[in-house]
Amino acid sequence: MSDAAFPRAQTFQGSYDNLANIAAFVRQAAQEAGLGDFAMYMVETAVDEACSNIIEHAYGGEGKGEIQITCEESPSALTITIRDWGRPFDPDVIPDPEMHADLEDLPGHGLGLFFIRKWMDEVRFNFSGESNILTMVKRKEQQV
């Protein structure tokens, strides 16, 4: 474990301009948790995709709500919790993309959830009262 203070949390205005700030916040937590370069890339990309979806789908546009991100480190993993107060989200209604299709036949949207699930070791969605809560876990690489 690092000497950095965990858990760390920050709230961002839901706008595409803030995605770089969100990425920097998560990248710092991933670095301090000791994740490798590729694991940090997967975490940062999954969070970016999730936050873009929140802005577009939960809030229906920019500047309409906040995104709260909490990063917690354990000896074996980094857990990132993303909370928004937009429209409820049910991931079970989103079909898996047909990845065997030709590249030009893949939809322009709808791949984000697929990649979030592929990049992260655990992904859980919960609608709690008035907020959506996405919990993503990235396990640390085992040292040999």
Mean pLDDT of 39-68: 96
User: Who has greater pLDDT, 4 or 141?
Assistant: 141
Assign domain 8-139 to a CATH class: alpha beta
Contact indicator for 67, 82 with CB cutoff of 8 Å:
yes
Mean pLDDT of 94-105: 60
State residue 90's pLDDT score: 77
Q: Return the H-helix or E-strand segment holding 76.
A: none
User: Who has greater pLDDT, 92 or 67?
Assistant: 67
Residue 138 has pLDDT above 90, yes or no: yes
Contact indicator for 26, 8 with CB cutoff of 8 Å:
no
Interatomic CA distance for residues 134 and 69, integer angstroms? 10
User: Who has greater pLDDT, 114 or 16?
Assistant: 16
Assigned token pair, 107:
């939809």
User: Who has greater pLDDT, 144 or 111?
Assistant: 111
State residue 111's pLDDT score: 72
State residue 104's pLDDT score: 63
pTM of the entire structure?
0.86
pLDDT in tens, 2-52: 455 678 999 999 999 999 999 999 999 999 999 999 999 999 999 999 999
Query: What is the residue extent of each domain of the chain?
Result: 8-139
